[in-house]
Structure formats: structure tokens, C-alpha cells
Amino acid sequence: MRLTGKVAAITGGARGIGHSTAVKFAAEGAKVAVCDINPDLTRQTLAEIRSMGGEAEGYRVDVTNKEQIAAMVKGVMAAWGRIDCVVNNAGIVMDAQLKNMTDDQFDKVIDINLKGVYNCTRAVVDIMLAQQSGVILTTSSIVGLYGNFGQTNYAASKFAVIGMTKTWAKELGRKGVRAIAVCPGFVATPILKEMPEQVLSDMAKKVPSGRLGKPEEVANVFAFLASDEASYINGAVISVDGGMTL
């Protein structure tokens, strides 16, 4: 198992890509801190991990709340004594065309998708530097590479986390800490399930692979990047999109 002995904290870890990543990391031998704002979904994720023999603890973490993040970090260190990987996955969408977007819509997306990534990474970086090892993984999006109609706030946040990732790779790489951004394309998560079937069908037709992605396909990439097998990958921006952006 490629993550045996490692400790990972995963935000948005109880649903969608985060849930699949938590389960995958545990299956690969990692001890997993499942961080989410939904306690019911967190309990379900923990039960799933434990039922397969994995080790995990749950934490209520709103990534805009530094006190909750600090409590999670304290709990993880007390339980396992290290943090080898943080997966910054928590995020929201509040779509509107620019002419209709409110300040509240813009600010909430930026606070969670961008400032939340900063908050969580800032909370663990000193631990990783002391260990002289660590991996910072962040969920960006193909929207963070190419923009998207009606997503001024979301695109801004996902472009920005790529910039932070590249900066952290330069600052921290010589100290044993890697930073990588992953850009999923159209992935069948609960967010997409709210869309009409015809819209989903039209989205799938735009993908050379002919279908939407699965959350576990993104989780597989995260697991590889968190492992020692990916030790020379740093500052990369990796698309997982079925070839959509070709």
C-alpha cells in the first residue's frame, strides 16, 4: 500500500471527490482526518473507512474558521504525531453572469475556495517544515485554466489556487515539501447531480472520452501524488478531464 504510515487531512472529505479521496487514502494505508462541515456525512465516511479496516477520525471544519482548523490540526497531531499531506478540496459554486453577480456570491466563493486553501495550508506548513517532508494537494478545476461562462467567482478562485501552488512549490520544495494542483473536468459529483439530465448529456458529449469522470478517478491521482512514487512532481498542474481541454 503506497501510503502506509502517512497521515492525511482532507477538507470537504465527506462528499464527492473528497469522500472518494478519503476512502482511497485509507485503502492505501494512510491515517485519514476527514474534515467537513456536515457531521452526518462525516460519520458515514468514517464508518465506510473503518468497515474496510482503515483508520480515520472526523473533524468539523469550516475552512473559513481558523479556530476549527487549528482544533483539527491539534487533534491530528495528538492522535498521530504528524501530517504528511493536506488535500485542499472543500469548495462551493455560486454561479451568475458578471452583470448579475452579487458581492455576497463573489465573496463567499473566494472565502471558501481561495482563502480556505490558504487557511488550511498555513495551519500545517510549519509541521511539514519541521518534518522536512509533506505534500500540499489542492483541487483546482479546468475552469481555473480556461475560465467558464457564468463563473467569474469560481474561475477566479481556481486560477488563484494554481498561483499559490506554484509559489509554494518554489518556496518549500528545497525544504522537502511539495505542492501540486489537480484540475478535474466534468466529474459526476453531488453538485452536478443537481443539473438536468440533458445538460449532463451535453457535457459528456464535449469530452473525448465520451463520459463524465468519476470521483474515484480524481482520488486515484491524489493518492499517487501523495505517495513517494511522485517524489519528483512539484509545482505541477495536472488535468483530470478525459481529454476535454484538447
CA distance 136 to 134: 7
Q: Answer yes or no: are the C-beta atoms of 88 and 12 closer than 8 Å.
A: no
Helix (H) or strand (E) holding 130: helix 116-131
Which one of the listed residues 59, 118, 146, 154 is annotated catalytic? 154
The set of residues, in sequence order, having a beta carbon less than 8 Å from that of 6 and lying 6+ positions away, is 29, 30, 31, 84, 85, 226
Helix (H) or strand (E) holding 72: helix 66-80
**Catalytic site includes residue 154:** yes
The set of residues, in sequence order, having a beta carbon less than 8 Å from that of 42 and lying 6+ positions away, is 13, 14, 34, 36, 58, 59, 60
Which residues are the active-site residues?
A: 154
